[in-house]
Every structure is written in structure tokens, then in C-alpha cells.
Amino acid sequence: MRFNVKAMRVGEGLTALALDAANEIDAARQVEAQGYTVLAVSTRKGLAWFSRGNSHFPLVLFSHELLALLNAGLPLVEAVETLAEKEHRPEVKRMIEQVISQLFEGKTLSQALEQFPATFPALYVSTVRAAERTGDLSEALTRYIAYQTQLDSVKKKLLSASIYPILLLSVGGLVTLFLLGYVVPKFSRIFEGIGGDIPLLSKLLIQWGVLIEAHAAQMGIGALVMVGLAVYLARLPETRRWVGRTLWGIPAIGERMRVYQLARFYRTVGMLLNGGIPVVTALEMVEGLLHPTLRGLLHRAAGEIREGKPISQAMENHRLTTPVSLRMLRVGERTGRMGEMMERIAGFYDEEMARWVDWFTRLFEPILMALIGVIIGGIVVLMYMPIFELAGSIQ
């Protein structure tokens, strides 16, 4: 990742530097190593989007490879050193080398990873820390890989289900713009002198064509400005929160979003419980994964569990269960396998979500195709309506 750093050095004054680093901490350390005093670090914008290589640390791949080396019998430090030696991406190699330097200082792996929160999330660090207590790091890495793989699988299903509707909307929108911006103005020249002998909608369409032809440059600039403004607004966190609140308020979609959130919640808590982390600590760690509405409910449920209430009862009291998950939580309490049961609940939710996405796409795609066909067909019919009128008057 590319960073801009403002720094000072004796005899030089204020200096602006640009460099590649794994994160802001790494960027600051590189500059300080050159004798500068760092004043500010910021991510470089613009052309950095097109820079070569992957600036995102491949955490799952790192875990896979580390697990394979540990299972082959290599000590931890030697395994991490091996990963650094084979790495060809500079920013990834630099991050692994920083972890190695922390290990050589006598820190445990969890303590070393904790120094880089932007790269290693708190859930990952906590999983490793719990494994260090039991001496079973390989099992912890296996659990995290399975957890992250399952989450990625759900995201891919949602993404693949949205590709076809987005493609339909894009093509339909481009065809509609072509008709309104190019074809209709050409037809408007032919029908300008016809007057009141054509249908009202056709007359309005022709007037639109005349307007486009007279002010094409201004309208084109206005359209580009509107597209740019829409893209800018879409990237704002406030806009995303507003869209989230709006979707959450729609009963059919809001309930599905709630099920998706609960699936991720139960899967994460189950992984942490299987790693030996206490239930209240696990609940506090996953609060940030939930929608603000559910976050407040979880906070209150965690308070009741801390006071001694059963997990199933606390979750039920604050609407964090469904009838199926409630019964499975009670089974987990009776058998003492709460972590495993929460992962099964997440699997049940994932299957339910997959069925709903499949049903929704099967219903939505034909409706979307019909709507686009009606819009394009309506424009074409309105363009040819004056010709039909002329043919009728000639007869």
C-alpha cells in the first residue's frame, strides 16, 4: 500500500515522502529509520488503485501456509521465517518480517500479532492467544481457516446472485440512454412539423429529442456531474448507514439481514468458545460485527449472562434467537457443547439464507427483464407512433 508521510529532519525542514508499506505504523517506522521525525501519515489516493500487486495482507493464505509448516514439524519461528523467505510481495514480506522481529524480542505470537491491528484482527489474535494457553496452535489455525472460508462462501453466494441483476440493469440503462440520447433526437427532426396530429406521449418524446439536440453538451456535462456526485455519496459512511437503516426497515429484507447477522454472530462466537475463550468475553468481542440495533440487544444479553442467567434465556429475552436456534442453544447447554452447537446454528442460518437468495433471484430476474423490456419497447413504440398516424391519414 502506498503512503504519504510528512516529516522533519534537522537541516531540511518539512519534507513530504511517498513510500510503500504494509500499514501506517510500518510507514512511520521506515521514515523514522532514516532519521526523520514523523508528523503525519496518510494513505495515497488516486493512481494507487492501479498499483501492481495486492496491498491487502492475505490472512487466510498466511494461516494455511503456517498451519502446513507447523504440521510438518517446523518450530514456530522457523515456520514464520520460511513464509517471509518465499514471499515475493514487498509489503507482505515486510509485515511478516516485522512479526519475526517481535518474536525474536521474546514475545509470544499473539503479542507479536497484536502490534499490527490493521492486519491481524482482534478475533484472530484472541484465537491464537487462547491456543497458546492450551499449546494447540494448529487446531486454532484450522478453526479460523474454516470460519473465514465459510464466511467468504456466504459472501460469494450473495455477490454471484447480484451479478446478473446488475448486468441487466446496466445493459438496459445503456440501451435506454442510447435511444433517448441518440435515436429519439434523430426521429424528432422528421416529426417536428407534424403538429398536433400525433399522440401526446409521442409529442413529449419528440420534444425531449429536440431539447437534447439543442443542449447536448450542457446535458452531458450535467449527467457526468450527477454520476460523479452519486459515486461520491455512495462512498460516504453516512450514505451507507442510511441505506442500511432503510433496508433494515423493509420487513422482508430486514428479516433476511437479521438472519445473516445472526449467522455471522453465532459462527464467530462458536469459534471463540471452541478456542477456550469464556462466553462473556466472546460476546463482548463480537459486538462490533452486529448491526447497531442488535448490538444494543447483545450488550444487554451479555449483562444477564454475566449475572448468571442461561445463555438461551438471555438470547431469547433480547430477540437474538429464532425458534430453531433457541432449541439448539438449550441442547448445547445440556450437553456442554455450546461452541459446536452455535456453529451448527450458523450453518442452519446459512442454508436458510442461501435458499432465500435463490428464491429471490428466480423471482426478481424475470420481473427486472420484463420491466426493462416494457421501458425500451415503450420508447420504440412511441417513436413509431407518428409513422402509424401518418400512414392512417394517407389511407
What pTM did the predictor assign?
0.62
User: What's the rounded Cα separation, in Å, for the pair 254 and 384?
Assistant: 44
Residue 301 predicted with pLDDT over 70: yes
In which band, very low, low, confident or very high, does the pLDDT at 232 lie, cut at 50, 70 and 90? confident
Angle subtended at Cα 295 by Cα 343 and Cα 308, rounded to the nearest 5 degrees: 70
- Beta-carbon contacts of 361 under 8 Å, excluding residues fewer than 6 positions away, are 161, 164, 165
Q: What is residue 1's predicted lDDT score, i.e. its pLDDT?
A: 55
Residue 51 predicted with pLDDT over 70: no
**What's the rounded mean pLDDT across residues 75-86?**
89
Please list the residues that pair with 8 across neighbouring strands: 14, 37
Contact 83, 47 (CB under 8 A): no
Q: What is residue 47's predicted lDDT score, i.e. its pLDDT?
A: 34
Residue 59 predicted with pLDDT over 70: yes
Q: How many CB atoms lie within 10 A of CB 343?
A: 23
Q: Where in the chain is the domain with CATH 3.10.20?
A: 2-50
Residue 78 predicted with pLDDT over 80: yes
One-letter amino acid at 351 equals E
Residue with grid cell 472460508, as numbered in its chain: 149
Residue 55 predicted with pLDDT over 50: no
**What's the rounded mean pLDDT across residues 267-296?**
81
In which band, very low, low, confident or very high, does the pLDDT at 49 lie, cut at 50, 70 and 90? very low
Contact 30, 6 (CB under 8 A): no
User: What's the rounded Cα separation, in Å, for the pair 260 and 153?
Assistant: 13
Contact 38, 31 (CB under 8 A): yes
Q: What is residue 5's predicted lDDT score, i.e. its pLDDT?
A: 77
**What's the rounded mean pLDDT across residues 259-284?**
84
**What's the rounded mean pLDDT across residues 353-375?**
85
Least confident of 52-61, 65-74, 123-132, 246-255: 52-61
Angle subtended at Cα 79 by Cα 23 and Cα 120, rounded to the nearest 5 degrees: 30
Task: Report residue 18 as a C-alpha cell.
Answer: 511517498
Least confident of 20-24, 53-57, 349-353: 53-57
One-letter amino acid at 243 equals V
What are the tens digits of pLDDT across the range 99-142? 898 889 888 888 888 888 778 887 788 788 878 877 778 888 88
Contact 247, 341 (CB under 8 A): no
Nearest to 302 by CA among 327, 269, 276, 343: 269
Determine the CATH number of domain 2-50: 3.10.20
Please list the residues that pair with 277 across neighbouring strands: none
User: 13 in helix, strand or coil?
Assistant: strand
Residue 50 predicted with pLDDT over 60: no
Residue 38 predicted with pLDDT over 80: no
User: What's the rounded Cα separation, in Å, for the pair 317 and 379?
Assistant: 55
User: What's the rounded Cα separation, in Å, for the pair 273 and 279?
Assistant: 6
Report which of residues 266 and 17 the model is more confident about: 266
In which band, very low, low, confident or very high, does the pLDDT at 3 lie, cut at 50, 70 and 90? confident
- Beta-carbon contacts of 298 under 8 Å, excluding residues fewer than 6 positions away, are 265, 283, 286, 287, 290, 318, 320
Report which of residues 171 and 383 the model is more confident about: 171
User: What's the rounded Cα separation, in Å, for the pair 277 and 338?
Assistant: 12
User: What's the rounded Cα separation, in Å, for the pair 17 and 53?
Assistant: 21
Contact 69, 82 (CB under 8 A): yes
Residue 194 predicted with pLDDT over 60: no
Q: Where in the chain is the domain with CATH 1.20.81.30?
A: 59-148
The 10 Å CB-count burial string (b at 16+, else e) for 257-290 is: bbbbbbbbbbbbbbbbbbbbbebeebbebbeebb
Q: What is residue 23's predicted lDDT score, i.e. its pLDDT?
A: 63
Nearest to 201 by CA among 378, 76, 394, 389: 378
User: What's the rounded Cα separation, in Å, for the pair 285 and 273?
Assistant: 12
Q: What is the mean pLDDT of the chain?
A: 80
In which band, very low, low, confident or very high, does the pLDDT at 54 lie, cut at 50, 70 and 90? very low
In which band, very low, low, confident or very high, does the pLDDT at 46 lie, cut at 50, 70 and 90? very low
Determine the CATH number of domain 59-148: 1.20.81.30
| Enclosing H/E stretch for 379 | helix 338-394
